[in-house]
Chain A
Amino acid sequence: MKSFTVERGLVAPMDRANVDTDLIIPKQFLKSIKRSGFGPNLFDELRYLDEGQPGEDCSRRPLNPDFPLNQARYRGASILLARENFGCGSSREHAPWALEDYGFRCVIAPSFADIFYNNCFKNGILPIVLEAGVVDALFRQLYASEGYELTVDLQGQQVTTPAGEVHRFEVDEFRRHCLLNGLDDIGLTLQDAAAIQAYEQGLRQRSPWLFDVIK
């Protein structure tokens, strides 16, 4: 998993409440055998004017010009500004996979659905809860200035606006530690790599028939 320390990036708006995971990535794309490649289908129903099918070349599909992600000023955004209860609905991990694949590293909203919130941390995405009033102010600033960027500092647990306003956020200490160091379950286990190697060496002595047989 990618570590998250400081992210300074362009912000894009997702200006509606209760964005569910089906809206983030529609169900027809779950047949995929992949965990990557969902980026082109992120917000598929809002982003395109036709109905998307798995495996289709999205570059040939008609874009919805009103959808922010299709507008030049938001191209390359890495921070998504959203409303209440973002990520509600199913538990599909495809939702954070799609956000991550598109290039988002951070989602800021007044609240998140629980499972989605958890899934974000497993996939290197930082979900940040800020007060509704603060989020509202950020939306206004975002719409008012093209090229609007925020700086998100996980170590210092703060979001800084271009004008220098600082908004503090809370995050669970364990998750913060994992994300700062890019540790998922696997990352954590790999912290014990030396112990695994030592065990393996002992095993080679005790049970040599377990090694180098299937090759």
Chain B
Amino acid sequence: MAGQTLYDKLWSNHVVVQRDDGSALIYIDRHLIHEVTSPQAFEGLRLAGRPLWRRDANLAVPDHNVPTERVERSGGVAAIADPVSRLQVQTLDDNCRDFDIVEFEINDTRQGIVHVVGPEQGATLPGMTVVCGDSHTSTHGALGALAHGIGTSEVEHVLATQCLIQQKMKNMLVRIDGALQNGVTAKDVVLAVIGKIGTAGGSGYAIEFGGEVVRAMSMEGRMTMCNMSIEAGARMGMVAVDDTTLAYVKGRTYAPGGALWDQAEAAWRDLHSDPDAHFDRVVELRGEDIMPQVTWGTSPEMVLPVDGHLPDPAQIDNPTRRKAVERALEYMGLEAGMPITAIRPDRVFIGSCTNSRIEDLRSAAAVVKGRRVAASVKQALVVPGSGEVKKQAEAEGLDKIFLAAGMEWREPGCSMCLAMNADKLGAGEHCASTSNRNFEGRQGFGGRTHLVSPAMAAAAAIAGHFVDVRDW
């Protein structure tokens, strides 16, 4: 019998009941909750008179709707200007109180984007099944966990049963061997992967990222990659446990200590694909070949190396593809054939669950240090992923560097990633953004998003147009 993949192991470790129709009841170790997708689920429990199955498996934090301006933020929930947002955040507080679920409330230092908070607190650990009513739950796979997003009815299902009814996925290995060039980051790698396999390339698969580049990558980088698995069409991405994982997890608030740590470590050491494991699909990239990436269109697969030129629809034979490129160019207000470096962002956003961790902020700060944001850039926002990240960044003086460069230093939250709060693009504005989705209107009605790494975003803020950060 062939060996097992990491995904196979995580799956089989969590099967409660295997059903004849191929589905299985899967046990969920950790359920993360935020304010947008949970209210109806709690309401459903109340209506059915059902108790919570296991309170200590849940952790809640508001992130999508929280304001990031210090003034609005300092008044807490009551001071949230938008009444719809305020009610959603208040409702999360109320539900967590009623069901006795631990919540990091709006101005708690531990508050932040749910996918930054989970690993940071040790609330998500290797070997776990992790779910949350949010598609970027794939992030947590970086710890060697089986993690994916769920809908509101499934949120309710997990609250009530601690399980989900699931079908097993196929296995895909994305292997990146070699080494990355200076200035090339995990964000560039995952964008290059999406550029290669397309936004539906991973659909039906659980992706494991492996190879020398991934082994050499920090946990922050691995989280960035797993975060965007969903943009490659895969509900989950994961990375095998190694010394880097263990070093990251050790000492975190909710991580085991003492004798329990030894027991956990022994179990976690097995969380990797066996050498003879079978993958249904293998995708290979060379680290040296990957350049800094910039998306030019309205889908994450519309991505090019920074030295690239925009596609010309006239040279595309496939009519569906030609139409898509034409429409994207029109929406983005860009010319066929123009160089990526000629695109001039009006705003810059450094943040989101993809790139708002300390390493991301350090890399952006290194680029802007001692420089000024270009006059043509209306706003450059830096939004740390959590209160802990913010505190750490301030301890390192990164906030001062950003402020001195003319950037704004905000309170933690999702912010301009989805523009559910006041941080958004105006119609027609271009944004160099470290987030994960460049769909039409994602960052504000009529807004035009270019997905890049934190260093690339920072460099664009200074130069006033995209530049190759390797030359920085």
Contact = CB atoms under 8 A, between A and B. Distances in A.
A34 to B, nearest CB: 5
A207 interface: yes
B59 interface: yes
B362 interface: no
Interface string B24-68: 010101000000000110011011101001111111000000000
Given A186-B160, A189-B165, A211-B56, A35 B44 contact: yes
A36 B263 contact: no
Contact of A215 (B102, B157, B160, B165): B102
Nearest to A187: B48
Interface of B: 16-17, 25, 27, 29, 39-40, 43-44, 46-48, 50, 53-59, 84, 87-88, 91, 102, 123, 125, 127-128, 153, 156-157, 160-163, 165, 254-256, 260-261, 263-264, 267
Given A195-B16, A210-B125, 8 more contacts: A1-B48, A200-B27, A203-B27, A211-B56, A214-B56, A214-B58, A214-B123, A215-B102
A189 B260 CA distance: 32
B16 A196 contact: yes
Contacts of A212: 56
A214 to B, nearest CB: 5
Contacts, number: 89
List the 10 closest pairs (A to B, CB-CB), nearest first.
A209-B256, A33-B39, A35-B43, A35-B40, A189-B161, A199-B16, A186-B160, A209-B260, A213-B254, A33-B91
B153 A33 contact: no
A27 to B, nearest CB: 14
A60 interface: no
A209 B125 contact: yes
A34 B40 CA distance: 5
Contacts of A31: 84
Interface in A36-73: 36
Given A196-B27, A213-B56, A189 B163 contact: yes
Contact of B267 (A36, A185, A207, A211): A207
Nearest to B39: A33
Contact of B264 (A186, A192, A207): A207
Given A185-B153, A209-B263, A214-B58, A190 B47 contact: no
Interface residues of A toward B: which range?
Answer: 20 to 34
Interface string A177-215: 000000011100110110110011001001111111111
Contacts of B54: 200
A184 B123 CA distance: 30
Nearest to B122: A213
B56 A196 contact: no
Nearest to A101: B47
A192 B25 CA distance: 9
Given A36-B43, A36-B47, A214-B56, A186 B156 contact: yes
Contacts of B25: 189, 192, 195-196
30 contacts: A1-B48, A31-B84, A33-B87, A33-B88, A34-B39, A34-B40, A36-B46, A184-B48, A185-B153, A186-B48, A186-B161, A189-B157, A189-B161, A189-B163, A192-B17, A192-B25, A193-B161, A196-B16, A196-B25, A196-B53, A196-B162, A200-B27, A206-B267, A209-B256, A209-B261, A210-B125, A210-B128, A213-B56, A213-B254, A214-B123
